Chain A
């Protein structure tokens, strides 16, 4: 082996070994020094990669005036206080109401009759770290919706009795099943995994929501949850 080959091998893999390389190293002080240097560098690279890269996206091209920072901070504090007040003062049983409000806010979800693409279903589920063993041709609407501070999959499933809405709520914990009838809808929220699953239908379809909810408890798999980016202002 010649020095050029030995250095290529060591530079590519400082821990490389082999009879030919060892034989060369025994007689070549330069290559031994090269290996020692590459091993030191490799230890540094290992340490450098041990943490994720510290990239911060550049958001503002120039610094804002100081008063703007104080005004922004005051605004944030006021907004947080207002949000806290609303949160503390709200009734505890508003999950069902929030679900109905959310579903009514997407009336187009009931209109679809054709299956959505596997990609759309994946997108809706992926943001919440959820996998679903469910016949995808039955799903006629799939969105990832911002609901109570998290992205949740919002699906509409075609059943033999008509469409039913499913929201998979990783962050909404319920102790027991909660049947509700509100705003012209019938629904149920059942505990599942660490969170819950809500099924809603228009009118009185208690049997329909029960069957679907029972099946989904077996078919929903809770994968590790991704960190969620802030909500898209164009989508509620």
Chain B
């Protein structure tokens, strides 16, 4: 039996050091993205602990699939996509019990707040109360910076269906804090 070729200890050490350095920069990149990912997950899940769980699971998945990330500049979109899929997977897996948002949470009373703050709070509560089918594309677009085409691909919908959902989401929010929604009638959604 032949002995395996002897590797140079110098190259082996330098390779290990390069790999360690790459791992350290990826960890730092993940760390810097964490607040964004958590905020995104919280708007999707509307629960801090579930969002924490989703982000952690997503980071583990991202870590395992780290070789797929060729360009660190694309990391944000890549990680947000993983978080969104993890959120969808969580609901598929656990079939989380659905309860009325009003029964489950206390929403701070903002009647005494200044008018501008009150409007913003109304809007935030309005977004929270949007059904997931409207909230998800809206959060992907506004918070994630995804285009309608990218959202359509991610949600496996037609572009027209995504446009309709985004339109309806804004239409509902406009009804909460703007003039009456008479000038923009919500179109019928096209099947995906």
Contacts and interface: CB of A to CB of B under 8 A. Distances in A.
A27 interface: no
Given A8-B167, A34-B184, A49-B139, A54 B56 contact: no
A34 B164 contact: no
A60 to B, nearest CB: 10
Interface in A135-180: none
A46 B55 CA distance: 21
Interface stretch (A64-72, A77-85, A88-96, A121-129): A121-129
A20 B105 CA distance: 46
Interface in A106-130: 122, 125-127, 129
A14 B173 CA distance: 14
A7 interface: yes
B142 interface: yes
B48 A55 contact: yes
Contact of A48 (B107, B124, B184): B124
B63 A13 contact: no
A224 B32 CA distance: 9
B184 to A, nearest CB: 5
B105 A55 contact: yes
A222 B27 contact: yes
B81 interface: no
Interface in A185-204: none
Interface in B145-184: 148, 162-167, 170-171, 173-174, 177-179, 183-184
A44 interface: yes
A191 to B, nearest CB: 16
B49 A44 contact: no
Interface in B103-159: 103-108, 119-120, 123-124, 127-128, 138-139, 141-143, 148
Which residue among B105, B124, B163 has the maximum number of chain A CB atoms within 10 Å of its CB? B124
Contact of B173 (A12, A45, A56, A227): A45
A13 B42 contact: no
Contacts, number: 134
A221 interface: yes
A38 interface: yes
Given A126-B57, A221-B63, A224-B59, A54 B163 contact: no
Given A34-B184, A53-B46, A224-B30, A131 B39 contact: no
A55 B23 contact: no
Given A12-B167, A13-B141, A48-B123, A58 B173 contact: no
A226 interface: yes
A129 B108 contact: no
Nearest to B174: A41
A45 B42 CA distance: 15
Contacts of A4: 185, 187
Given A13-B141, A44-B119, A126-B60, A53 B34 contact: no
A154 to B, nearest CB: 18
Contacts of B187: 4, 8
Contacts of A224: 27, 30-31, 34, 59
11 contacts: A34-B183, A41-B177, A45-B138, A51-B39, A53-B124, A55-B128, A56-B106, A58-B104, A122-B57, A223-B59, A224-B30
